[in-house]
Amino acid sequence: MEALTNMFHIYSQDTSGASSKMLVEMAKQSVFYGNVLAGSPTTIADRLEELTVEGQLDGVLFCFPDYLKGLRDFHEGVMPLLAEKTLIAS
């Protein structure tokens, strides 16, 4: 958090706005601005398939409000659908 605070302090001193624009573009490429997947297991599996087939998926970061429950739900609901789609080994 300290690093982000320092970045905002430095960029806020730029009156031309170029640094702010650069910061926004950097944020778009970071995990803070990635694809959010929400919905039913089918919806999530379909979206992961779409991202995989289009070549836009090179990793997944799981963030669940209740991490253990979310991970369990993903494993039980989404993983079997991904196996059916042959996107993962069953």
Residue pLDDT, tens place only, 4-35: 666 666 656 666 667 666 766 666 666 555 66
Domain of 15? 1-33
* 9 lies in the same domain as 44: no
Look at residues 40, 36, 35 and name the one whose alpha carbon lies nearest to residue 77. Answer: 40
* 18 lies in the same domain as 43: no
* 54 lies in the same domain as 74: yes
* 27 lies in the same domain as 52: no
d(CA 28, CA 31): 8
* 51 lies in the same domain as 89: yes
pLDDT digits (tens, 9 = 90+) for 57-90: 777 778 888 889 999 999 999 999 999 988 776 6
* 13 lies in the same domain as 39: no
Element of type H or E holding 79: helix 79-84
* 67 lies in the same domain as 78: yes
* 44 lies in the same domain as 83: yes
d(CA 46, CA 49): 5
* 43 lies in the same domain as 59: yes
* 12 lies in the same domain as 26: yes
Query: What is residue 6's three-state secondary structure?
Result: helix
